[in-house]
Chains A and B, each alone.
Chain A
């Protein structure tokens, strides 16, 4: 059973070759015994399984920050310890109620999705199934580790500046961040609302397309959701004939580990052998992406996280004398260090006298970065880069230096700021650890990205089974 991809399992259940309940129980037992701290909640028993729908009851793991009615949804934070929401996120409803997936568990994450290693969880760090002395990336590290470690066939996470793509790269699986607005954000516990986007973690590109196809769609409960202009197709491309790949010098040289660059260049050669043209190009403002991101995201988070005040749900500090003391003490006790740091940074950037110099300038840089991509699409079908500048790093090696941690997002943040889709596929090993290859395209080009990723995946032939065999 463990060898089956989610699509293969769904097909086998439909044909009668596989029993849906046995398949669920197989993963439920693996999830309950998960050695990587990837789960914060696992279903006690198989719920009612509906095999008549597209996913045929195949189990799915969900990042903790998606609200699930009556089931803990803590976003990795102590301030939401044992919070059980009164409703379920639209994307989760679409995957379970509509597509017939079965909720297997909730996965660990950096607190409120702030982090690149899943070490900022109030529920302990998640370990990388390839090497348990290392991080799985973040913030959706739990959702990446469950797929890499085969304690779930597939999962979903969220990406604000790289939180799907970077952990997918560090654990040797496929992670897709769709176009901003493709998937409803309703019921996703918010970090930075102009950037947050849900997306799939899967073993292969085919599963990625299948999972994405069920998540997309406009939602009256999220006025920024648009869906996609055409249905998501299961990819079939066998080559890259006529495809023009642009390699931005700014995101593929300085600061990237040698082993990662080597794998990247090998993949470019494979792309050429499949018929693609590869040309160096420039995204002149991309190096400023990190600075703009670390103003915009904290600014939005400082506003979004104002709701955690001990009044309506979650933690409340005991014994506060006044309302103001209750707010400040609740937040002091409930938030972890990184969340406080970002709230402070965002509040500072929005405060009187600094707004224009920081937040205002960052929004203008965002315009320039989006324009760089628009210019690139005149010459290229896709922009390709290494997903992360290095392989999975050792636990605690970057926790003392926030800036070093932020640099993990160097190659993924520009796409987030531009709101465009990007996928990370595993493209080899460096030092025995997985490396990711990022393919970004114009808004709403998901089908073309999936096709290109599928053709490359077949030619690369990456074997992720070492992490769970």
Chain B
């Protein structure tokens, strides 16, 4: 069973601000899923290489030639707060 401290730690890593109710609920739900997942602990995986990608593909390279990029206005069109050709955000240091 995940403790609420563990849930809060993971939430901090994931940049999620959970409500007290969510902390309690996720603790129980994630523990149940992890119990099922832990079945793979029974397998002997000593000499098995990991698979991160199923297709045998070497580096896909292209010619290093300049190409037009998306215009700045278009890239900023969906921004919640665009200013001076960039994305405006609250100060990291503010509290």
Q: What residues of chain A have their CB less than 8 Å away from a CB belonging to chain B? A: 83-87, 180-181, 194, 220, 223-224, 226, 285, 288, 290-292, 294-295, 302, 306, 309-316, 320-329, 331-332, 335, 337, 340-341, 343-345, 347-348, 351, 357-358, 360-368, 370, 402-403, 406, 417-419, 443
Contacts and interface: CB of A to CB of B under 8 A. Distances in A.
Given A288-B40, A332-B16, A362-B40, A220 B70 contact: no
B55 A328 contact: no
B94 A321 contact: yes
A223 B95 CA distance: 42
Max chain A C-beta neighbours (<10 A), residue from B14, B29, B60, B81: B14
A351 B15 contact: no
B49 to A, nearest CB: 6
B15 A340 contact: no
Interface in B31-77: 32-34, 36-41, 43, 45, 48-55, 57, 59-60, 62, 70, 74-75, 77
Nearest to B70: A86
Nearest to A400: B29
A86 B17 CA distance: 30
Contacts of B74: 86
Contact of B52 (A86, A194, A324): A194
B54 A341 contact: no
B91 A181 contact: no
Contacts of B33: 294, 345, 402-403, 406
A128 B14 CA distance: 34
Contact of B90 (A292, A321, A417): A321
Nearest to A87: B70
Contacts of A326: 89-90
Contacts of B22: 337, 340
Contact of B55 (A220, A224, A348, A365): A224
Given A341-B30, A345-B34, 8 more contacts: A226-B57, A291-B37, A311-B80, A323-B94, A347-B13, A358-B37, A367-B51, A419-B54
A194 B54 contact: yes
A216 to B, nearest CB: 14
Contacts of B60: 223-224
Nearest to B88: A311
Contact of A316 (B15, B59, B80): B80
B79 interface: yes
7 contacts: A86-B74, A194-B54, A311-B80, A324-B15, A358-B37, A370-B51, A419-B55
A439 B49 CA distance: 28
B46 to A, nearest CB: 9
Contacts of B2: 348
B48 A340 contact: no
A294 B33 CA distance: 8
A322 B91 contact: yes
Interface string B2-24: 10001100110111111100100
A85 B74 CA distance: 9
B16 A322 contact: no
Among A83, A302, A331, the most chain B Cβ lie within 10 Å of the Cβ of A331
Given A223-B60, A370-B51, A365 B13 contact: no
A320 B30 CA distance: 29
B78 A314 contact: yes
B57 to A, nearest CB: 6
A300 B38 CA distance: 19
Contacts of A361: 40-41, 43, 45
Contacts of B48: 364, 367-368
B37 to A, nearest CB: 4
A223 B59 CA distance: 8
B84 to A, nearest CB: 15
Nearest to B74: A86
A226 B32 CA distance: 38
Given A313-B79, A316-B80, A344-B16, A325 B40 contact: no
Nearest to A83: B78
Contacts of A314: 78, 80
Contacts of A313: 78-80
A417 B51 CA distance: 9
A309 B15 contact: yes
B16 to A, nearest CB: 5
A329 B17 contact: yes
Given A347-B14, A368-B43, A323 B49 contact: no
A295 B30 CA distance: 12
A312 B81 CA distance: 8
A345 B32 CA distance: 11
A22 B2 CA distance: 58
A302 B79 contact: no
Contacts of A344: 7, 10-11, 14, 16, 26, 30
A383 B86 CA distance: 53
Contacts of A194: 52-54
